[in-house]
Structure 1
């Protein structure tokens, strides 16, 4: 057998997490399908209710064990969240992802994944030195391509090396500071997307949108409840 399931996560013989991500996205898509059916049956939901249900029913499945596989961007994971946003906003499949993300104001899945990665690293860093988990962490830090070493390298992109290295229990203060840094970079990257005109003959198709969109907060129309029959 070249693959097996352990604690709800699929592994293959090469320890490649691609299979695990694919299966998680399928499970999350089914959970999202149930949410969407309830959304249509109810004639729509408010922004806060839909967001709460997504974060309670779909996101935990979608980001399950993302502390392990969440360092890199995963297209399958992005697609699930983008679908949820487009359904809520009534946008078509071909609508720009950057545009609907900007109007919805949700954090990107990549940033959510990396927050979980950093959170788990802080737990390892602040663990009791006598515990086996901490000893493995210390040993792994000396390996150039280990998970731990790659997290430290990733932390440099967010300028949070000091936060990662100074993590002590309780870690929620450190994690909150890291969250803020990740959110700031996420918004900066989003602005980079909508203002990127390189290699595009007639410019970014969001060239009109970006003239009016000055932040990535939820738009008023998204938070203003209106029955779907009137949209």
Structure 2
């Protein structure tokens, strides 16, 4: 009952682009993974007709594809296997842009494309959304649902993300509660990016084929003339 009116039962419901059913958001996750693969196919077709594949593919992937894939993902719990499927599609897009074959290390692909992993993007978005929830008016539905399911899977996953970022812990939790949203967003982005860079460097150190490439200090956009 909402406002004295009975809500009709339905097998599934779509709200702001997110499908909800008795399995949670599984349908939406499958749709977004499929959408990522569709974008790789489109970029492959576009790249064949362009002299500068790097600029075109990088621009379309980062500016159009990623936002369409990422919309609302911070409200879901993603398994490592599901995130890996998104990472594979992004690496395929990077290989198209660079003209790299399947033997080129993913650290080199990411290093020259200069983009974040989906794990980093979802970690940032999830923590920022949690900060919003903690400050949200109690009358809002999102706040009510979060309060009702405070110890559910999503919150447990958010805590895991904090632990993954290392020193983030209670410091950023405090920023979430007491600092401004601008400060909170900046701190979350900085800490997640640091962790992403740390994992990228560790990945390179474990591959002998990237010995020369290790001179690069961080993933960044390159100008290939």
| 1:22-78 alpha-carbon deviations (Å, 9 max, x no partner) | 22121232233333322321222454x543321222102222321023554312211
Q: Does structure 1 residue 31 correspond to structure 2 residue 33?
A: no
Unaligned runs of 5+ in 1: 197-205, 226-231
Unaligned runs of 5+ in 2: 1-9
Q: Is the 8 A contact 1:121 1:164 kept in 2?
A: no
User: Corresponding residue for 2:66?
Assistant: 59
| 1:175-228 alpha-carbon deviations (Å, 9 max, x no partner) | 1210111010001011222223xxxxxxxxx31423442322337xx4213xxx
Q: Residue 87 of structure 2: which of 64, 78, 82 is its match?
A: 78
Instruction: Indicate the RMSD between aligned Cα atoms, in angstroms.
Output: 2.7
User: Corresponding residue for 1:228?
Assistant: none
State the number of aligned residues.
209
Q: Does structure 1 residue 218 correspond to structure 2 residue 220?
A: yes
Which is worse superposed, 84-93 or 72-81?
A: 72-81
More relative contact order, 1 or 2 (CA 8 Å, 6+ apart): 1
* TM alignment of 1:102-113, pairs within 5 A: 102-113=111-122
CA distance in 2 between partners of 1:76 and 1:61 (Å): 16
Larger proportion of helix: 2
User: Corresponding residue for 2:205?
Assistant: 195
Q: Does structure 1 residue 175 correspond to structure 2 residue 175?
A: no
Q: TM-score, normalised by structure 2?
A: 0.78
Q: TM-score, normalised by structure 1?
A: 0.76
